[in-house]
């Protein structure tokens, strides 16, 4: 590739003036050199990396975005660098109202808030802003005009139809599709043609004039994937769009911003890998030192309908949107731990050895991230992390989280819990603590289903209706008989062993086998085993088939509740 900035402009100076005027549309913008003076080199220790996370405000935050943001944060933090958040809102059509705030809020809830850029309280920090691309329009224009002046950009008046027709033509001729070489409709048009189009006030995009050749190969080093050898770019991509906003495309915006913001490593999804030669050429055309790129894997999911993996999509997979994770209220630490494990496989060992350490203490390694295929989202494994995480919480912390969640998500339960704090305290302490805490709760939204039945109002409203289903196949008479037998022997003051003996006795008298062998030998002689009997009692007490130890539950509930739930036959 030859040094392009020396290229003689191919457009007449008159046309360049008119194009510039059209793009500027009356506004007055600074020169590129003036802009550059404002963005001085950062004062950072040697080896410090400046990373940036650059989402588009499309209304939701992808779980993969958190993954990338985390990587940006770790790398910046560990090198004493800076992690910046930049909003890429150059596509006004796709922009969703309120997304910017949503993004910074979500980053905050995941603890990956940026060092620079929009913060979750809507303030902006940093001296390299603005950090929203639409507010940086003048800069892109200044660089684009620079390109126009050096002959590396030109206007293209082709209509969508013309462009589509060309692609169709290419396809029928089995040629590579795209706007390049002789297929670049306006690349070598005469000044007269361009002047005429300008006279006619036709809309135009400003295109890059590529000097690359698809037949020549170039080499660049990806920080994660290593040495890449690929064909040069030869596409004359649009740099400035034709609509009234005159905003840049991603390509120009990326190069200009990361240059001005003094970014040192560009982390982005690996879907950008193929356009990297273009970005390198663009940077060179602008006389900018190309960046170090690090193309990160994209988190995928198994397509239930197809066979293979595919990208997590917003429409098909609720898990793709972090709003889902927040809504379900998984502990953030668990999500981050899971994600970290995906990024660095040695994390799991570290995490096991340092269960109480702050995640930020983990020594993140770019090298370990280098595994380049996109991992599959494993919700089961994530839940495992989450259950562990919650089980490890101190009782106090656990109670606090439970109440906090209920307060904002389940007012009825919250009120019930707060009505009797001592009772609630005992309820929440069931089978917690000790060496093997119960792991029923993977996410805070599990709480109502897990503890709701302890509260009479909640029990009758939400759990009683499910009793019939849970006991499907057991006749009402048998249920009544079992309850009757149980209550006949029930002694609330009995200790666990006595309680259990009583239950066995009740079961036997109600016609259930205590001896498994006897049941197996003559099933017709019994209504079932002790387990079946216990199930009836359990379901009537809790509305559930799966609960902690029944004795403990009854002790906590108190005699009155036990009586009211099991005493009468209804």
Residues 175-214 that bind RNA (CB under 7 A): 176-179, 203, 205
Segment 101-120, which members bind RNA (CB under 7 A)? none
Closer CB to RNA, 217 or 411, in the complex: 217
Q: Is 450 in the site for RNA (CB under 7 A)?
A: no
Single residue of 210, 374, 399, 450 touching RNA by CB under 7 A: 374
For residue 180, report the phi and psi dihedrals to the nearest 5 degrees. -150, 160
Please tell me the total number of residues recorded for the chain in this structure.
570
Q: How far is CA 395 from the centre of its chain?
A: 29
Q: Which of 39, 324, 350, 551 binds RNA (CB under 7 A)?
A: 551
Residue selected from 146, 257, 440, 446 as contacting RNA according to rule CB under 7 A: 440
- 297 or 414, CB closer to RNA? 297
- Answer yes or no: are the C-beta atoms of 218 and 231 closer than 8 Å: yes
Pairing status of strand 50-53 against strand 82-85 = parallel
Verify binding: residue 431, RNA, rule CB under 7 A: yes
CB 564 within 8 A of CB 446: no
Question: In angstroms, rounded to a whole number, what is the distance separating the alpha carbons of residues 178 and 369?
Answer: 33
Q: Exactly one of 372, 407, 502, 563 binds RNA (CB under 7 A); which one? A: 372
- Of 44 and 59, the one with the shorter C-beta distance to RNA is 59
Q: Can you tell me which of 14, 34, 221, 243 binds RNA, judged by CB under 7 A?
A: 243
Q: Which CB atom, from 378 or from 401, has the smaller least distance to RNA?
A: 378
Closest by alpha carbon to 407, among 398, 416, 395? 416
Instruction: Evaluate whether 387 touches 439 at the Cβ level (below 8 Å).
Output: yes
- Please pick, from the candidates 439, 449, 484, 567, the single residue that binds RNA as defined by CB under 7 A: 439
- Binding residue for RNA, selected from 3, 13, 37, 159, defined by CB under 7 A: 159
3-11, 90-98, 134-142, 456-464 -> range binding RNA (CB under 7 A): 90-98
CA atoms within a 13 Å half-sphere pointing along the CA-CB vector of 33: 0
> Contacting RNA (CB under 7 A), which of 169, 192, 271, 461?
271
Size of the site for RNA (CB under 7 A): 87
347-to-133, 294, 354, 359 alpha-carbon distances in Å:
35, 20, 10, 10
Tokens of 347: 């994390």
* Interface segment toward RNA; rule CB under 7 A; list 66-74, 267-275, 354-362, 403-411: 267-275
If binding is defined by CB under 7 A, does position 540 make contact with RNA? no
Region binding RNA by CB under 7 A among candidate stretches 37-45, 72-80, 87-95, 450-458: 87-95
Q: Does 350 bind RNA (CB under 7 A)?
A: no
- Considering only 468, 488, 521, 531, the residue that binds RNA (CB under 7 A) is 531
Candidates 11-19, 77-85, 146-154, 230-238 — which segment interacts with RNA by CB under 7 A? 230-238
| 54-67 b/e (C-beta count within 10 Å ≥ 16 → b) | bbbbbbbbbbbbbb
Q: C-alpha distances in angstroms, 349 versus 335, 354, 377, 392, 394?
A: 16, 9, 20, 17, 23
Instruction: Indicate whether 549 belongs to the interface with RNA (CB under 7 A).
Output: yes
Q: Cβ–Cβ contacts within 10 Å for residue 2, how many?
A: 7
* C-alpha pair distances (Å), 13 with each of 39, 78, 201, 337, 362: 30, 50, 18, 58, 58
Binders in 39-68 for RNA, by CB under 7 A: 54-56
Torsion of CA 97, 100, 106, 112, to 10 degrees: 170
Among 17, 168, 314, 373, binds RNA (CB under 7 A): 373
Contact range with RNA by CB under 7 A, out of 111-119, 407-415, 433-441, 481-489:
433-441
| 3-class SS string, 35-46 | HHHHCCCCCCCC
Choice between 155 and 414, CB closer to RNA = 155
Angle at CA of residue 79, ends 116 and 354, nearest 5°: 105
Query: What is each CA distance from 536 to 2, 42, 236, 286, 512, in whole angstroms?
Result: 83, 70, 74, 77, 12
> Under rule CB under 7 A, which residues in 480-509 are in contact with RNA?
496-497, 500
| Contacting RNA within 328-347 (CB under 7 A) | 341-342, 345
Q: Which of 160, 172, 190, 289 binds RNA (CB under 7 A)?
A: 160
Considering beta carbons, is residue 69 or 534 the nearer one to RNA?
Answer: 534
> Minimum distance from CB of 355 to RNA (Å)?
13
275-304: contacts with RNA (CB under 7 A)? 275, 297-298, 300, 302
Q: Tell me if 494 sits within 8 A of 502, measured CB to CB.
A: yes
Q: Say which residues have a Cβ less than 8 Å from residue 188's Cβ, sequence separation at least 6.
A: 10
CB of 306 to RNA, least distance (A): 6
The residue among 56 and 264 lying less far from RNA, judged by its C-beta, is 56
* Nearest alpha carbon to residue 49 among 223, 265, 269, 257: 265
Minimum CB separation of residue 407 from RNA in Å reads: 26
């Amino acid at each position: 590739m030859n040094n392009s900035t020396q290229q003689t402009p191919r457009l007449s100076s008159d046309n360049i003036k008119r194009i510039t005027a059209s793009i500027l549309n009356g506004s007055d913008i600074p020169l590129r050199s003036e802009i550059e003076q404002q963005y001085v080199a950062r004062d950072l220790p040697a080896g410090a990396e400046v990373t940036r996370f650059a989402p588009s405000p499309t209304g939701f935050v992808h779980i993969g975005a958190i993954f990338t943001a985390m990587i940006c944060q770790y790398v910046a933090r560990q090198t004493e660098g800076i992690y910046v958040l930049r909003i890429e809102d150059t596509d006004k059509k796709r922009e969703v109202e309120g997304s910017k705030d949503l993004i910074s809020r979500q980053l905050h809830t995941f603890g990956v808030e940026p060092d620079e850029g929009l913060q979750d309280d809507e303030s902006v920090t940093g001296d390299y802003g603005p950090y929203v691309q639409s507010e940086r329009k003048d800069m892109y224009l200044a660089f684009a005009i620079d390109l126009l002046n050096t002959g590396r950009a030109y206007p293209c008046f082709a209509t969508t139809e013309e462009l589509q027709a060309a692609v169709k033509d290419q396809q029928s001729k089995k040629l590579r599709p795209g706007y390049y070489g002789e297929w670049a409709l306006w690349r070598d048009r005469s000044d007269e043609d361009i002047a005429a189009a300008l006279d006619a006030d036709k809309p135009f995009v400003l295109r890059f004039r590529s000097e690359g050749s698809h037949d020549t190969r170039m080499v660049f080093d990806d920080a994660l994937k290593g040495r890449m050898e690929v064909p040069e770019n030869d596409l004359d991509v649009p740099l400035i769009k034709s609509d009234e906003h005159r905003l840049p495309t991603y390509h120009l915006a990326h190069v200009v911003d990361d240059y001005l913001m003094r970014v040192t490593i560009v982390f982005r999804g690996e879907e950008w890998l193929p356009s990297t030669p273009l970005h390198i050429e663009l940077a060179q055309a602008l006389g900018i030192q190309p960046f170090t790129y690090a193309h990160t894997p994209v988190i995928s999911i198994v397509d239930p309908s197809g066979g293979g993996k595919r990208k997590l999509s917003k429409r098909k997979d609720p898990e793709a949107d972090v709003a889902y994770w927040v809504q379900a209220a998984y502990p953030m630490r668990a999500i981050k731990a899971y994600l970290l494990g995906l990024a660095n496989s040695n994390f799991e060992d570290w995490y096991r050895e340092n269960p109480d350490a702050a995640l930020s203490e983990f020594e993140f390694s770019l090298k370990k991230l280098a595994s380049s295929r996109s991992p599959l989202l494993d919700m089961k494994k994530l839940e495992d992390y989450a259950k562990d995480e919650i089980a490890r919480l101190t009782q106090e912390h656990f109670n606090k989280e439970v109440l906090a969640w209920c307060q904002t998500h389940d007012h009825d339960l919250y009120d019930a819990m707060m009505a009797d704090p001592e009772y609630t305290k005992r309820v929440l302490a069931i089978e917690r603590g000790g060496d093997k805490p119960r792991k029923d709760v993977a996410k805070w939204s599990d709480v109502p289903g897990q503890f709701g039945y302890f509260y009479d109002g909640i029990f009758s409203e939400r759990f009683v209706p499910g009793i019939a289903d849970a006991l499907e196949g057991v006749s009402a008479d048998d249920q009544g008989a079992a309850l009757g037998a149980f209550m006949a022997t029930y002694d609330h003051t009995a200790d666990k062993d006595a309680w259990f003996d009583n239950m066995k006795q009740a079961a036997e008298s109600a016609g259930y086998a205590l001896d498994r062998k006897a049941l197996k030998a003559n099933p017709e002689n019994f209504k079932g085993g002790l387990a079946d009997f216990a199930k009836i009692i359990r379901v009537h007490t809790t509305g559930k088939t799966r609960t902690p130890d029944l004795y403990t539950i009854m002790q906590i509930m108190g005699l009155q509740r036990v009586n009211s739930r099991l005493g009468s036959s209804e």
